Amino acid sequence: MAALMDLSCWGGDWGLPSVHPESLIVLAYAKFSGAKLSIQPVDWTWRTLTETVPALHCEGSTVTEPAQILNLLRKQQYNADYNLSAKQGADTMAYMAMLEEKLRPALLHTFWVDTKNYTSVTKPWFSSRCPFPLNFFVPGWQASTALSLILLTKGESPLNSIADVEAKIYNEAKECLNLLSFRLGSSLFFFGNTPASLDAFVFGYIAPLLKATLPNGQLQQHLKQLTNLCQFCDTILKTYFDVSTQGKAMGSANGDHLLLGRHVFYSSLHLLPGGLPVRQDAVDTNLQKLTQLVNKESNLIEKMDDNLRNSPQHRPCGGPSKQSSSLSEKNSTPA
């Protein structure tokens, strides 16, 4: 008999089961692997202050952080990476490291540090989900934590202020999104027609960015130009979650990104963040360098660790095979 598992997480909005990226990662992985979780939103409770989310409670123990939660689910024989090769498992870890280093700081800045986004979207949402008087304290505390984390990881000398760091983290985030789009290509998921843990991490990070209505959305606009990543998010929402892909009025992404052609992806690669054109060879060089870094880390991981499939596991929930061919044909991003 499977152990009872409770997941504490932030609730949903904007057409998403959770607006919190880390919570969304765990929710997506649970769907992919077939794990049955009892969802316990922390919204409107004192746990918004006292509990670290997401948190998985199982057999008297509590595990936080998405990577650790996914490891616990694997121990419970819920493994969405069941069918991955050793090379694909190593690629997964390498891309996750890239997401953490290159994309997460820009997401923290977008939602928690950028003044317009914070005062118009992030602070009102989290304040409305916290009981009095925590609604006056929790959003500010989370914003301060986000700023400290950005400066700690990206504020090395001579980049000592958030203004100095801002350009760097957004450039790195856009390069990361470009590489993810290039890696996904015309596939339904990152390793074929069945989602795995890498798909959960990518979905958890980019879905809130895609679906929120942000007054200052430079990174969001870049994401919307990468049509295969947008379609990737919508496919997961339609297939695995009982929520509208268009979301609520506050956070709907009107779907225009699906009408953009193949040329939009290439045009996004030909522009610097300020809109200045760059040479094709410079674009190719940047993508090549990122790809080489990921492949190098992947090869090292593959040599060091080949234990992802050592224990018997439940087979992961299959993807929408009937949809795979048609969706792949509609995809506008080159492999």
pLDDT digits (tens, 9 = 90+) for 84-114: 999 999 999 999 999 999 999 999 999 999 9
From the list 130, 64, 332, 99, the residue with the least C-alpha distance to 200 is 99
Instruction: Say if CB 229 and CB 180 are below 8 A apart.
Output: yes
Instruction: Say if CB 183 and CB 168 are below 8 A apart.
Output: no
Instruction: Say if CB 309 and CB 239 are below 8 A apart.
Output: no
Enter the pTM of the model.
0.74
For residues 202-217, one letter each, b for 16 or more C-beta atoms within 10 angstroms of the residue's C-beta and e for the rest, the string is bbbbbbbbbbbbbeeb
- 3-state SS, residue 23: helix
CA distance 63 to 71: 10
Q: What is the pLDDT of residue 134?
A: 87
Q: What is the pLDDT of residue 216?
A: 92
**Residue 7 pLDDT > 90, yes or no?**
yes
Q: Per-residue pLDDT tens for 111-151?
A: 999 999 999 999 999 999 888 888 888 899 999 999 989 88
